[in-house]
Structure 1
């Protein structure tokens, strides 16, 4: 088994670089610290969660990278938070700063009212990934429901129309988990109604994937496939499978775009490891959308990026040695 816990050190270091570049408290860039901003520059605020997951770290990294590339067009601040209350406070700070647009990755419930307040003040808001039920908010995301659809087709293609599938939902992920599960369940009901589905809750971390799946293996004598929503969760799942010596499991799905996970694909001949690509690089589209809106371009409210499936047959096309995730 490869060393699977070393990535967090790299990701933490990458995020430290991001935060240092942006300022530990203010996260300012694009103007001299404490100086006057250039009136011709758009002021863009970026809100992201603190690192609890490699994919989240990569979102912050790519948002900062894109903002820096556009530093001749924008002045920006990046803030990271650990809960909805902290993100709300940071959103207020960005409004006081005079943000023209905010790119928000609101991972928790309770962000509807503060985001609605920003919109009412005339600030353009582009949500990344998460659905927020507020009129006037733009959004960039992958096709979460189609990821579930593709996962169902992949599993049925590999194991047939009957068998036992363990599905790992992540209730704390809100609409992301809901949509991925809906796509999966609806498609299985349509194409393989005899398939037995057992659903368990977990989190988007390899530690939870490992611990939860160890318990699941103890409770289930036979499993044909695992429908996992996330690459990091799946890394833990695969470790649990290998440690238990369970060789009947034929498929483990995932989602995200994790380089370490991609590299595991050709190393497991008896197990089809799949990922529905949901690249953190998409956040760059959200930054670009915010600028287009401020420039007066005609922009659709939702930009949904199609699903790409990665497995051992094409993984090498998606390897990127510069990726932080």
Structure 2
């Protein structure tokens, strides 16, 4: 599999702010403040409840290289949130897209006997065994985003709703085409990395949502979460289909290349839905002049929530909004649809591609 973690480029300060606000809502009884577009630096952790200093812990962190916006946002959100707590010693290892290098880095954290480990694997299947080594050594693992197949390899999983992304995109496209009275539409799908389970879940949700309108995907191709691939794939698809009604692009980072190809081809007879919720995609939506009309969220704020959950687990605490004494075994974030009508509210949470 070619560079299985390449996913996304750089982060605006607003994404860090948004991450802190979202994660606070997960772990505290205090209502989360609405993020301000003007905010540019992470705020201090609010006093009270689970955010009060507790037992000192050491938290290991490993993720892929930040060569795309979404992954860069993951790393920055994690660092910023960990820095809010005086009781957390944050130990990130060198980010890498090399499977063996990530395994070695995680092994170094196990040897260092960290209190808890937050791990976003390049590939859940290939890092499953080293995650299991951590849990067998008594180190709870918070599995972020790409899931390990063995539930014994992690204490808690937190991530986006990949199937829900597809469903949201499918309903937006299906409903709009049905309202326009379009019969037998040409619907194109540009995936991320086709071999990843998360991509397969997105495609499954998309196909099943479209089916409720009597529609199906006309052509599907993957772009590896890369800008240049997005450009090449979109160019090929547009050349192969002289008329298109709608496109769903799984990833706003590769969408930079997709949009460039669309503009180069001079095509605008269709509308497009993106995926993840990048700031540049939101600005395209906000302009009202782009074929990009919506994007469905897969927010890197999940990294901030993972840090907060890992801290609670290591300190033996539960989530104060829940009755149960321990953090849940899995948390799936909702995929929300961003359109011109609500984009101003989501823009502070965006990451730069």
Scaled by the length of structure 1, what TM-score is found? 0.83
Partner of 1:257: 277
Structure with the larger RCO, 1 or 2 (CA within 8 Å, 6+ apart): 2
Which residue among 276, 280, 293 is the counterpart of 2:300? 280
Which residue among 187, 198, 202 is the counterpart of 1:176? 198
How far is 1:272 from its partner? 4.4
Number of aligned residue pairs: 289
How far is 1:234 from its partner? 2.0
* More displaced 10-residue stretch of structure 1: 112-121 or 290-299: 290-299
Q: Is residue 73 of structure 1 aligned with residue 57 of structure 2?
A: no
How has the CA–CA distance of structure 1 residues 103 and 85 changed in structure 2, closer, same or farther, with 3 Å as cutoff?
same
Partner of 2:121: 106
Which residue among 204, 209, 222 is the counterpart of 1:187? 209
Which residue among 133, 138, 147 is the counterpart of 2:149? 133
Partner of 1:206: 227
Q: Is residue 54 of structure 1 aligned with residue 69 of structure 2?
A: yes
Q: Show structure 1 runs of 5+ residues with no match.
A: 1-6, 13-38
CA contact (8 A) 2:277 2:351 kept: no
C-alpha distance in 2 between matches for 1:294 and 1:132 = 20
CA contact (8 A) 1:67 1:74 kept: yes
Q: Show structure 2 runs of 5+ residues with no match.
A: 1-7, 13-53, 319-325
How far is 1:96 from its partner? 1.4
Q: Which has more strand, going by share of residues?
A: 1
Give every structure 1 segment of 4 or more consecutive aligned residues whose post-TM-superposition deviation is greater than 6 Å.
none
C-alpha distance in 2 between matches for 1:57 and 1:304 = 21
Root-mean-square deviation (CA), in Å? 2.2
How far is 1:86 from its partner? 0.7
How far is 1:196 from its partner? 4.6
C-alpha distance in 1 between matches for 2:57 and 2:334 = 29
How far is 1:154 from its partner? 0.3
Scaled by the length of structure 2, what TM-score is found? 0.77
SS of the residue aligned with 1:304?
strand
CA contact (8 A) 2:231 2:260 kept: yes
Partner of 2:36: none
How has the CA–CA distance of structure 1 residues 187 and 315 changed in structure 2, closer, same or farther, with 3 Å as cutoff?
same
